[in-house]
Copies of this chain bind each other. A is one copy, B any other.
Amino acid sequence: MAKVSSMRSNSREKILDAAAHLVSEIGAGRLTLDAVAHRAGISKGGLLYNFPSKSALLQGMVQRIIDEVCAEKDQLRSTMPEGPNAEARLIVTVLLNMRSSKTKDLANGILAASAEEPELLAPVRDIVRQTFEELKSRSDDLDAALIGWLAVEGLSSFEMHDFSPFTEQDRKRIIAAVDRLLRNGKV
Binding site for B on A (CB under 8 A): 27-30, 111, 114-118, 121, 124-125, 128-129, 131-133, 141, 143-144, 146-158, 161-166, 173-174, 177-178, 180-181, 185-187
Contacts and interface: CB of A to CB of B under 8 A. Distances in A.
Given A29-B116, A115-B115, A186-B187, A129 B177 contact: no
Contacts of A177: 143-144, 146-147
A63 B155 CA distance: 23
Contacts of A30: 116
A149 B177 CA distance: 13
12 contacts: A27-B115, A28-B115, A29-B115, A111-B114, A114-B161, A128-B164, A128-B165, A133-B165, A141-B187, A147-B148, A154-B154, A186-B187
Contact of A185 (B132, B154, B173, B186): B186
Contact of A144 (B132, B158, B187): B187
Contacts of A155: 150, 154
